[in-house]
Structure 1
Amino acid sequence: MQKIVPNLWFQGNAAEGVEFYEHALPNSRVVETSNYPTEGLLEFQKPLAGELLTAVLEIDGYLVVLINAGEEFKPNPAISFLVNFDPSRDDDVKATLKGVWDRLSQGGTILMPLDNYPFSEYYGWLQDRYGVSWQLMLTNPEGEPRPFITPSLMFGGKAQNRANEAVNYYIATFNDSALGNFVPYDQQNGPANAGSVMYSDFTLEGQWFSAMDSGVEQDFTFTPGVSLMVNCKDQQEIDRLWEALSVVPEAEQCGWCMDQFGVSWQIAPEGMEELMKQPGAFERMLEMKKLDIDGLRGS
């Protein structure tokens, strides 16, 4: 089971987003869906009664959840998805990458054009029509293997120059975690200080992530538009991670919290989908900040 699952906030159009990604991304399929209940909703949720709530999308074995919600939040490039195209797995890898690029960019915005860069022979960064950001990269087959999809955290705005601090904190907080590559800026680069993170990658719970300090002034930072859901084995793990990651009381709601760097997390029990099928579980969850497994069960 994937321990940490990125969640993407959609503004009432998640069903449309599912169809878009199933067409745009290789080896993609929906593996599970859930719907809003028809009663017990908060006032702002009532227009979504009975509609799609979440869709779990599997992309080449990697899970991402699409949340169908309101207009409160939207993804931005502070958290993007690095998609690694490995020449050793595909004889026509450039054409494959270009095809994915063309599909994802329809109706979107190009942040860095698809081109040859010092760090990759073929790379581009785009924001799709839903605001979700993707970095498509031709990888070096002689390098250490990396997964097809890696969530990438860009520290800019209020979080500028905090990437190294954050990576070290996350590694200390999660199990089976370690630093991989670390490449510092050797001199001041825009808002990025010398010695801050030009690129790093690391594992949390055995899963790869990457982080960088932005080399360009940004007027945005992390938001709940992209959150990281942690599937916890028991209440003890929920309590421990909540204590470590929740520092913004006003962000605490239904298992959601925000850390000191502004990154949003969902601290949830394994098997949340089954728990939510219990009569009254949705209403009980709406009254919670940190999730209580027994409380969700009504016991």
Structure 2
Amino acid sequence: MNNTIYPCIWCNNNAREMANFYCSTFPETTVMDENPVVVMLEMFGQKLMLLNGGDKFNPNPSISLMFLTMLEKRVEEIWNKLIQEGRSMMPLDAYPFSPKYGWVQDKYGVSWQLYTARDENHILQKIVPTLMFTGSQNGRAMEAAHLYTSLFPNSEIHGVMYYAEESGEPESSVQHGEFFINDYLLMMMDSSQEHNFSFSEGVSLVVECDYQEEIDNYWNVLTSNGGEESMCGWLKDQFGVSWQIVPAELGGWMKKSTKVMAEVLKMKKLDIDTLKNAIK
């Protein structure tokens, strides 16, 4: 697993409150770093960023977080905490694919899929961002997986299950798929059902980079063919998925000088040399 890629949840200036909630809900979860803008969690050795961005965006189920365990009791315990003031999207129950599974949207709008595995070898990563392609993006999950795995090093499509004919979904659409980008696991699915949500800045994917060449390459590819540049290292790709392409040392630079943040706020694509010069 690679810790240079991780999800970011947009928070309505309540990142610390959310961090406390998740630390009390999930085992092996602690605050690893914090500043007025960001609270960084470590969950089972993985990063999860909580960003104090205000009320402009909200997380939604287009990107949910899959939690995998061998323990049915643990799934039940976590479900009972997440469902408080939240809502059930798929009831906690036994399913053909899992002896104990449930999909819940918590009180902050973050969607969690709680999955009990039958085989420990199926748990390749404890927390897995899962992309749901809906609306105009429905049917493009495999196209996205091919793009992402061709862009990032150490990447591969790990497995894909397509919809059966009797499902009513196109047989070319993905019911469940898994792929790695730079040794970080993501899951995906298509859905033709009517949904009132689509990909947004509410949940984004952060990519930490060591070199400007990495930033340039990811930025150029992900903004091509209908992608969009935004500010402060943010972009949307052609599927609507939001990414943050940032220098790996950005957090440390910000601690050294407030001028670094001032430079970030001026930029679309981040420039490492300019940010390093701001420290001097």
1:217 aligns with 2:186: no
User: TM (normalized to structure 1)?
Assistant: 0.88
Runs of 4+ in 1 over 3 A off after TM superposition: 142-145, 247-251
Please state how far the C-alpha of 1:186 moved relative to its aligned partner.
2.4
Matches of 2:79 and 2:120, distance apart in 1: 24
1:77 aligns with 2:56: no
User: What pairs with 1:218-257 in structure 2 (closer than 5 Å)?
Assistant: 218-247=195-224, 251-257=229-235
User: TM (normalized to structure 2)?
Assistant: 0.94
Structure 2 gaps, min length 5? none
Matches of 1:172 and 1:103, distance apart in 2: 39
Matches of 1:197 and 1:17, distance apart in 2: 32
Change (3 A) 1:298 1:162: same
Q: Return the letter of the residue paired with 2:57.
A: F
User: What pairs with 1:40-51 in structure 2 (closer than 5 Å)?
Assistant: none
State the partner residue of 2:39: 55
Please state how far the C-alpha of 1:276 moved relative to its aligned partner.
1.6
Find the partner of 2:113 among 128, 132, 135: 135
The SS at the match of 2:92 is strand
Q: Is the 8 A contact 1:32 1:57 kept in 2?
A: yes
State the partner residue of 2:8: 7
Spell out, residue by residue over 1:74-124, the C-alpha distance to the aligned partner (whole angstroms, 9 max, x if none): 0000000111112xxxxxx22221111111111111000000111111100
Q: Return the letter of the residue paired with 2:175.
A: M
Q: Return the letter of the residue paired with 1:229.
A: V
State the partner residue of 2:241: 263
- How many equivalent pairs are there? 275
Q: Is the 8 A contact 1:177 1:206 kept in 2?
A: yes
Please state how far the C-alpha of 1:158 moved relative to its aligned partner.
2.3
Please state how far the C-alpha of 1:18 moved relative to its aligned partner.
0.8
State the partner residue of 1:23: 24
Percent identity, please: 39
Q: Is the 8 A contact 1:82 1:137 kept in 2?
A: yes
Matches of 1:95 and 1:184, distance apart in 2: 30
Please state how far the C-alpha of 1:215 moved relative to its aligned partner.
4.8
User: What pairs with 1:184-203 in structure 2 (closer than 5 Å)?
Assistant: 184-187=162-165, 189-190=167-168, 192-203=169-180
1:295 aligns with 2:274: yes
Q: Is the 8 A contact 2:72 2:99 kept in 1?
A: no
Please state how far the C-alpha of 1:216 moved relative to its aligned partner.
2.1
1:167 aligns with 2:168: no
Find the partner of 1:64 among 29, 48, 52: 48
Matches of 1:189 and 1:287, distance apart in 2: 49
Does 162-171 or 246-255 show the bigger shift? 246-255
Q: Is the 8 A contact 2:227 2:238 kept in 1?
A: no
Please state how far the C-alpha of 1:220 moved relative to its aligned partner.
1.5
Does 273-282 or 172-181 show the bigger shift? 273-282
Q: Is the 8 A contact 2:84 2:106 kept in 1?
A: yes
Q: Is the 8 A contact 2:38 2:51 kept in 1?
A: yes
State the partner residue of 2:91: 113
Please state how far the C-alpha of 1:144 moved relative to its aligned partner.
3.6
Please state how far the C-alpha of 1:159 moved relative to its aligned partner.
1.2
Q: Is the 8 A contact 2:11 2:52 kept in 1?
A: yes
User: What is the aligned-residue RMSD (CA, Å)?
Assistant: 1.6
Matches of 1:24 and 1:204, distance apart in 2: 28
Matches of 1:187 and 1:149, distance apart in 2: 31
Q: Is the 8 A contact 2:138 2:192 kept in 1?
A: no
Matches of 2:258 and 2:109, distance apart in 1: 35
